[in-house]
Amino acid sequence: MPETSMRPAAATPAANSAFAPFYHKSFAVLWVATVLSNVGTWMHDVGAGWLMTSMAPSPVMVALVQTATTLPLFLFALPAGAIADIVDKRKLLLLVQSVLAITALTLAYIVANNIITPWLLLIFTFVMGIGAALTAPAWQAIVPSLVPKPVLQQAVAANSVGINISRAIGPAVGALSSVYPLPCRFYSMA
């Protein structure tokens, strides 16, 4: 019997590939959705800071935007992990992402109609931070159920790569959209 046929499946080149998790449709679809969602989150961070600078250029108000973004992670990381262990992770992710989409669309409507205030911006940013805090543990915990054990390490690495991709793309797109705004009244406070 040839020696190559006696190798376990995990040792095959496909299983050792960094792209092995993407052969599993559920993982691939959720990974892309997560990267796109994270790009939107980073775009919001840049846009919210820029918008706050134009509405209330006080350093305290601009700093509060970052506080509203990251404080929910500090406050809700542990409870979010417990919630992710108790409830159906898939339903939690769908619910929170739906609420985040509605929140983002509502914020876009408020900004487009020039009825945004600094405090409204902080409230919406805080709510979006809560959503991010609630989804992170559920997403990390659901990955092992999306891929077989031999490619779990690659799936975890792919998640890290996805976060870094979105962290690089999101602020750049957010900055470009402030330099080259859409043909609507977003971020126009005049």
CA distance linking residue 27 with residue 162, whole number of Å: 12
- pTM recorded for the entire structure: 0.79
pLDDT of residue 1 exceeding 60, the answer is no
Query: What is the DSSP code string of 80-143?
Result: HHHHHHHS-HHHHHHHHHHHHHHHHHHHHHHHHTT---HHHHHHHHHHHHHHHHHHHHHHHHHH
pLDDT of residue 9 exceeding 60, the answer is no
Radius of gyration of the chain (CA): 20
CA distance linking residue 26 with residue 145, whole number of Å: 10
Model confidence band, residue 184 (pLDDT cutoffs 50, 70, 90): very low
Model confidence band, residue 8 (pLDDT cutoffs 50, 70, 90): very low
pLDDT of residue 71 exceeding 80, the answer is yes
96-121: per-residue pLDDT in tens?
989 999 999 999 999 999 999 999 99
- Centre a 10 Å sphere on the Cβ of residue 123 and count the other Cβ atoms it contains: 14
CA distance linking residue 118 with residue 65, whole number of Å: 9
| Cβ(41)–Cβ(169) below 8 Å | no
pLDDT of residue 187 exceeding 50, the answer is no
Amino acid at position 73, single letter? L
